[in-house]
Structure 1
Amino acid sequence: MRSVDELTAAELLDGLPSRVHEVYAPFVRDIPDHPAFMEGGRSWSYRKFSEAVDAAAKYLADLGIRPGDRVMIASENSVALGAMLFAASKLDAWGITVNPRLSAREIDLIGTHSGARRVLFNAALSKEAADHASRVGAKIDAVGPFGGIGIGPLNADAPAEPVEKDGKRQVAGLLYTSGTTGAPKGVMLSHRNLLFTAKTSGILRQSGPADRIYGVLPMSHIVGYTILLIATLMHGGTLYVVAKADPAALAHAIAEEGITSLFGVPATYQRLLEHKAVKGIQRLDRGKLRVMAVAGAPLDLDLKKRIEDEFGIPLLNNYGITECSPGLSGVRSEHPVSDESVGPFLPGIEHRIVDRQGKKVATGEVGELHVRGPNVMLGYYRAPELTAAAIDGQGWFNTGDLARVNGEGHLYIAGRTKELIIRSGFNVYPAEVEAVLNAHEQVVQSAVVGRPVDGNEEVVAFVQLLPGASVSAEDLKAYTAQQLTSYKRPTELIVLEALPSASTGKILKHKLREMAIERAGAKSPGAVAAG
């Protein structure tokens, strides 16, 4: 197999199918009995999975799903989720994956904004999905061979979007981020966006039918959706489906179940080492593991060295963003590095690094990273003004990240121009958390910042209360738990008499961040752990 750097963008685009559900067809034909998935000890062959997708597509059509409709699926990682996403593709509907651990408020915001024709809940797999299904009066039924699926009511008023014959213009997936305003933003990713990244990813990692990929990152987020689900089936591998992260189960799978490829966030590897220490394991068994990749948060170099020493293979750092499907750069296995580089850009990805005036900076200097390529989203759904602000007339997408490129072409991320917090690989936008806190009747204002911890970031909230307020930090903890999914909840809630501000009234978040870091590990009145 040629290395990814020997291929041009044109070669990567050549031969791509029109729709994502077509990626596994060659393996249904050539190796029909080869396992496409392993889930809970059960194997799903390529033939069996293809039949399941066909049956799910027929059922969705019977439910009134039309080409151009949006179909929202709340599910933990599962074969059922994969089948329903590919079934939506067969119908030319848009698949929307959401984590069932989102709160009712978050689920409903996405459903309303997207104009979803139906919302499906994998109630058989998690209590959270079952609770959501019950809340909306969903009927529990089987979708193809998958039982225990909650079928939400038909949104008869939802208009169907136009269908494009060309896969580069037709939306395959609508993935939601909260956005810096706290309102949901739907990222429209075309079939070509996803297929281009999936093909590149498989070649980058030299994937093939002999590979067994550990699917721990959620398919409700872009890496799990593209790099794990689509790319695995596009290259004939086997996806080991994992509903919830468990370091003990991961260690066992690597040692005993033939896992060859692991893609995680830094916290995935941090918890693996913690499991080793707690259990007193002398050395974790590497088994057949040959590729370890990481993305989603800054990689601590001490963690990188420790995990590489443990398994004897490099931990390959990568960089991407939902709006870019997500892959932009990655360290190559044949050229590992010892620093924090996120590797060279992938083929087909143009980049420029500019200063505040939009002028290109010199090699090695830090500036704002803009990219262009076949992986860049079509835009934000129902938000033309946001799309115009993110993608200029020449197709350049502003990542909002500060970066530099060295003389060898390696990319380094210096920071974020946005206030985005990345917690265990999940995006947390301070504005959304602040909006929830500010809605409390006894809260004057709030400010949320990120605080670095080992291989991760955590959420810290500062709150100013009304004079004479009776609400406590514990009360606010319970309040946010009802409104926000677990990874968005503040780790620490700190009540201040007043939030530091400039003469303009703007809250000085850099001072709060400094305060949060100073308080790390300290217990004091007015601060409580919240998740």
Structure 2
Amino acid sequence: MTIERPWLAHYPAGIPAQIDVDEFSSIPAVLEASIRKFRDRPAFANMGKTLTYAQIDEASGQLAAYLLGELKLKKGDRVAIMMPNCLQYPIATFGILRAGLTVVNVNPMYTPRELRHQLVDSGATVILVLDNFGRTVEQAAEGTAIRHVITTGLGDLLGFPKGAIVNFVLKYVKKMVPDYDLPGAVRFNDALTLGQRHALPEVSITPDDIAFLQYTGGTTGVAKGAMLTHRNLVANMQQAAAWVSQLVNEGGEIIITALPLYHIFSLTANGLVFMKIGALNYLITNPRDMPGFVKELSKVKFTAITGVNTLFNGLLNTPGFDKVDFSQLRLTLGGGMAVQRAVAERWKQVTGVTLVEAYGLTETSPAACINPMDLAEYNGSIGLPVPSTDACIKDEAGAMLPVGSVGELCIQGPQVMKGYWNRPEDTAQVIDADGWLHTGDMARMEETGFFYIVDRKKDMILVSGFNVYPNEVEDVIAMMPGVLEVAAVGVPDEKSGEAVKLVIVRKDPALTIEQVKAHARENLTGYKQPRHVEFRDELPKSNVGKILRRELRDPSPAG
């Protein structure tokens, strides 16, 4: 079936319709090209220490040699990484990939039960873990295939005496490193030293080899491993790099990496795309400490930042953020969840830079659509399909819908995953016979080819047969000056099937339920208005700051 591509006519000047997927055979091939080009340039910085591309090359090569020469791992073996943003993370990732192995990213905040599931499901035989989470590994490892553990402290790569002080303070002053017992565990720095004994063999990596098992879907039952191949990730690097090419200077960018690199958005957008263009990734280990985060931002003249709506909102509401030097900032990219208009408009007001919204999924490596980088103002759209990508809107029966209709957004392109690890039935449910990935997001396309997400299929609220999209309700309520954060969910209702419930974190303690309902009455039609309003001190969030609506659905009519 031929597909119309109205978006191509609205691409910014200089953006190609197609990218060269075959220019690089693997992620290490891209890394090698960057090391050749940007050898002495800073690559990753954290806690006052900076590593150059040459140093990343050396250390990741040593780790790869250790994994193959010392641990005797075989091509395709899975290696888990359980750490926040720190200098060890890129070394570990690139080392594992250079060895022809597969990275299994693990959220460090996992409970032993969640970690065990991921280790058993992936069959990982090695795990690299930050000391802070060693106890979780100790509690989860039994009954998994884990044979080797590599441990490290946050200060281990910071040099003497700073590194020793950081490790001492974290363990004995801040009490952030519980005792753990992992017999036979090897320290990260010792693994690098042992790796020097072995020559790194030539490893043949093909585009179809799995680079990452990226776990997703934990919100809808059991977490599944999306098989992301080298081709998937290289394609997405090429797509995103082409998209931002008019705005960035090779070898001259400094990007703030606050979202965790174990999350697909940060992994590809920051860790890979900006590595490809020779940028410095400025790693923020704990972005939840907003005052500390703002202090870090004031130390560096950054040119780019990525984030999710809650991160941008948090920064805007942290004292001192408006005093940060934004004179070099050119690129702000929001993804991972819907960007709210109120947040985007305030971001532009404070920083002078448009917050450009992008859209993607773990299953698409992740970028599928991005707004033009020269966007003057936030437009509420997720943008245009990136080069070499098709998108369409389908109905329940799988038929393509015309322009303006709301249906399920479907994506096709070289960045779409190979499938879910060991789950052919789940794969068949999301990738149809024609190769379209069904995203589970309700959307519409305008005549110009711009796509608009209406909401998650499963988050939609059905009030007396009418569809209510939480994003729309949240956008309206977020405009109230007294509201810091808001989430809308559906709760059971005897009369209408479901009713809209709002959970609000107040900026103004004097804000009342009646004021919220009055604002909703002015701006929303009857069936979209909240039946229940509840105030809380905070909203439950995922590891990257996505609001967990499912945890808010318990009916508790507080108004």
Q: How many angstroms does 1:152 deviate by?
A: 8.4
> Residue 431 of structure 2 corresponds to which residue in structure 1?
391
- Where does structure 1 lack aligned partners over 5 or more consecutive residues? 155-163, 422-448, 463-498, 503-507
User: Please, which of 328, 339, 358 is the counterpart of residue 288 of structure 1?
Assistant: 328
Matched, 1:520 2:534: yes
Contact 1:72 1:96 in 2 (8 A): yes
Match among 70, 83, 88 for residue 80 of structure 1: 88
Q: Map 1:272-311; keep pairs closer than 5 Å.
A: 272-276=315-319, 283-311=323-351
Question: One-letter code of the match for 1:48?
Answer: Q
In the alignment, residue 42 of structure 1 is paired with which amino acid? K
Shift of 1:41: 1.0
Aligned to 2:105: 97
Aligned in 2, Cα 1:173/1:5: closer, same or farther, shift over 3 Å?
farther
Paired position in structure 1 for 2:381: 341
Code of the residue aligned with 1:366 in structure 2: it is V
Question: Does the Cα contact within 8 Å between 1:180 and 1:418 map onto a contact in 2?
Answer: no
- Measured against aligned partners, the alpha-carbon deviations of 1:340-398 in whole angstroms (never above 9, x if no partner) come to 11111111111111222222222112111111000000000010001111112221111
How much has 1:22 moved relative to structure 2? 2.5
CA shift in 2, pair 1:346/1:262, >3 Å:
same
Matched, 1:266 2:309: yes
Q: Which one-letter code corresponds to 2:238 in the other structure? A: K
Q: 1:53 to 1:420 in 2, by over 3 A?
A: farther
Structure 1 position 172, deviation (Å): 0.3
Task: Tell me the secondary structure at the aligned position of residue 458 of structure 2.
Answer: coil
- 3-state SS, counterpart of residue 172 of structure 1: strand
Distance 1:264 1:327 in 2: 14
Show CA shifts across 1:6-54 (max 9, x none).
3132x33241x22212222233223321111111111101111100001
Q: Note the alpha carbon deviations across 1:485-526, whole angstroms, 9 max, x for none.
A: xxxxxxxxxxxxxx7689xxxxx9834757996232179xx9
1:28-427 aligned at under 5 Å gives the runs: 28-61=35-68, 62-123=70-131, 127=132, 129-135=133-139, 136=141, 167-179=206-218, 181-206=220-245, 207=248, 208-245=250-287, 246-276=289-319, 283-419=323-459
- Compared CA separation, residues 100 and 509, structure 1 to 2 (3 A): farther
Deviation (angstroms), 1:231:
1.1
Aligned to 1:477: none
- Measure, in 2, the Cα distance between the counterparts of 1:22 and 1:210: 21
Instruction: Please say if residues 37 and 43 of structure 1, whose CA atoms lie closer than 8 Å, have aligned partners that are also in contact.
Output: yes
Map 1:452-471 to 2 at 5 A: 452=474, 454=478
Q: Match of 2:61, as an amino acid?
A: D
TM-score using structure 2 length = 0.71
Over 3 Å counting, the alpha-carbon distance change for 1:114 and 1:522 in structure 2 is closer
* Structure 1 residues 300 and 181, CA gap change in structure 2 (3 angstroms): closer
Residue 490 of structure 2 contacts residue 500 of structure 2 at CA under 8 Å; is this kept in 1?
no
- Structure 1: distance between partners of 2:419 and 2:13: 27
Q: Match for 2:359: what amino acid?
A: Y
Match of 2:173 in 1: none
Which stretch has the larger CA shift, 203-212 or 383-392? 203-212
Question: Is there any run of 5+ residues in structure 2 with no aligned partner, and where?
Answer: 1-10, 143-147, 158-162, 168-179, 186-202, 462-469, 479-483, 505-529, 538-553
Give the Cα–Cα distance (whole angstroms) in 2 for the partners of residues 84 and 151 of structure 1: 20
Offset of residue 181 of structure 1: 4.4
Taking the aligned partners of 2:388 and 2:205, their CA distance within structure 1 comes to: 19
Distance in 2 (CA, whole Å) between partners of 1:456 and 1:190 is 37
Q: CA deviation at 1:399?
A: 0.6
Q: Percent identity?
A: 26
Is the partner of 1:13 in helix, strand or coil? coil
Closer/same/farther in 2, CA of residues 204 and 82 from structure 1, 3 Å limit: same
Give, in whole Å, the separation in 2 of the partners of 1:509 and 1:111: 40
The alignment partner of 2:338 has SS state of: coil
Say which SS state the counterpart of residue 293 (structure 1) adopts. strand
**Which amino acid is 2:109 matched to?**
R
Alignment partners' CA distance in 1, 2:456 and 2:341: 19
Whole-Å Cα distance in 2 between the matches of residues 522 and 236 of structure 1?
44
Cα RMSD of the aligned pairs, angstroms, is 3.4
Deviations 1:287-307 (A, max 9, x none): 311111101112211111111
The answer to whether the 8 A contact 1:264-1:293 is kept is yes
Separation (CA, whole Å) in 1 of partners of 2:298 and 2:65: 40
Q: Partner of 1:24: helix, strand, or coil? A: helix
Q: More displaced, 449-458 or 129-138? A: 449-458
Q: How far apart, CA to CA, are the structure 2 residues paired with 1:48 and 1:94? A: 22
Contact 2:309 2:338 in 1 (8 A): yes
Query: Distance in 2 between the 1:308 and 1:83 partners?
Result: 35
Taking structure 1 as the reference length, the TM-score comes to 0.74
Count how many residue pairs are aligned between Structure 1 and Structure 2: 438
What is the match of residue 510 of structure 1?
A: 498
* Cα distance in structure 1, aligned partners of 2:460 and 2:101: 30
The letter of the residue matching 1:86 is F
Change (3 A) 1:319 1:142: closer
- 1:96 aligns to what SS in structure 2? strand
